[in-house]
Amino acid sequence: MNCTDIENKLVDYIDGVLSENETKTINKHIESCSSCKNVFNETNELINAFTNETVAQPTSNLKTSFEEMLAQEKKKQPKVIALQPAKRNSYKSVLQIAASVAILFTGYLLGGYQESQNSQKEIATYQTEQKQLKENMLLAMIDNSSPSTRIKAVNYTEELTTPDTKILEALIDRMHNDSNSNVRLSAAEALSKFTDSELVKTSLIQTLTTEKNPSIQVEVIQILVQIQEKRALDPMKKILEQPEAPDYLKTQVNIGIAQLI
């Protein structure tokens, strides 16, 4: 196997679905090829990121937030200090002391609040960077020359709750242009999770006018009917006018039209 063959089989190698001979060959190649070893490490990191993802948590030594500290202070019983009779103007000293204590206490609370806010920002930044790294590696896998790798990458996108526009555009490109019909079908199924996006809905409708594989057309029709996308009616009716369209596809189209009207 050359490097291209190795890279195309890395996902299957990591999943442990290759034959014993192929596994041994890849093991030997990775040990001797630094380039393929780097690709292996990056691919393995992406897969582990999706299967073992953990949410970053603040460390135990972080101070509580301002609101929590304030609530705790409010619960404390104030100490009553009996003041001895003072001279006529001694109230000024008492007020000055009280003001000083108030300033110090406020500084303490604000300092803790600021530290907590900074820590939260650091955690948010880390989570954003972690998400960006995974998405970049996912995009690379979607463009992989191996159909099985592209399918796995497409399936991974279903685990994303709010995918970046670049991810959606990559899925749409696979659905429209991939040379492998299984990849196109997987992309359509993945996009069904994100039909709140106008970009996705428009692309699914467009697929009905360009896709020639009946199985993919049936899948897209079912998605569009499920979300009650009435703009799909015209391209669905045009499928009925195609003499080469198989009967089962036309049956699905007629069922879909009846549910949309």
> Does the pLDDT value for residue 193 go beyond 50?
yes
- Please write the tens of the pLDDT for every residue from 104-146: 666 666 666 666 666 677 666 766 666 666 777 778 888 887 8
- Please write the tens of the pLDDT for every residue from 236-259: 999 999 999 999 999 999 999 999
pLDDT, position 168: 92
pLDDT, position 82: 47
Tokens of 43: 């691919």
- The answer to whether 105 and 14 are in contact (CB under 8 A) is no
> Does the pLDDT value for residue 153 go beyond 80?
yes
pTM: 0.58
pLDDT, position 51: 57
Mean pLDDT on 4-11: 77
**Mean pLDDT score across all residues of the chain:** 78
Please provide the CATH number assigned to the domain covering 163-261: 1.25.10.10
> Does the pLDDT value for residue 211 go beyond 90?
yes
Taking the C-alpha atoms of residue 184 and residue 231, their distance in angstroms, rounded to an integer, is: 22
Output 59 or 43, whichever has higher pLDDT. Answer: 43
Banded pLDDT at 20 (limits 50, 70, 90): confident
pLDDT, position 2: 81
- The answer to whether 194 and 200 are in contact (CB under 8 A) is yes
* Lowest-pLDDT choice from 1-15, 63-77, 239-253: 63-77
Domain ranges of the chain: 1-52, 57-67+94-142, 163-261
Output 76 or 143, whichever has higher pLDDT. Answer: 143
Residue whose entry in the numeric block shows the structure tokens 């996009």:
191
- The answer to whether 197 and 223 are in contact (CB under 8 A) is no
Q: Which whole-number Å values give the CA distances from 147 to 42, 181, 253, in the listed order?
A: 18, 10, 29
Banded pLDDT at 94 (limits 50, 70, 90): low
3-state secondary structure of 10: helix
Q: How far apart are the first and last CA of the chain?
A: 55
